[in-house]
Amino acid sequence: MVGAFPDGQSCLNLAAARLRHIAGTQWSTRKNMNMAPLYAEQTETAGAVA
C-alpha cells in the first residue's frame, strides 16, 4: 500500500470522486430494505405501556 497515493489529499480526491459517481447514478435511488414493517412495528409499540 505504500506509495499507492502520494499524499492524503489524493486518496481523499479518489474517495470523493467515487461518492460523486454513486450520488449521480441510479445507485443513489436504490432502496435495499423495505422499512414499512419496521415503521409499523414502531407505531404499534409506541402506544404500549411498559
What's the distance, CA 41 to chain centroid? 23
Percent of the chain with pLDDT over 90: 10
Backbone phi, then psi, for 30, in 5-degree steps?
A: -75, 135
Mean per-residue pLDDT of the chain:
77
Ramachandran angles phi, psi of 19, nearest 5°: -65, -40
The residue to which cell 505504500 is assigned:
2
Could you tell me the pTM of the whole model? Answer: 0.46
DSSP 3: T
CB 48 within 8 A of CB 42: no
16 pLDDT band (50/70/90 cuts)?
Answer: very high
pLDDT digits (tens, 9 = 90+) for 18-32: 988 888 877 666 667
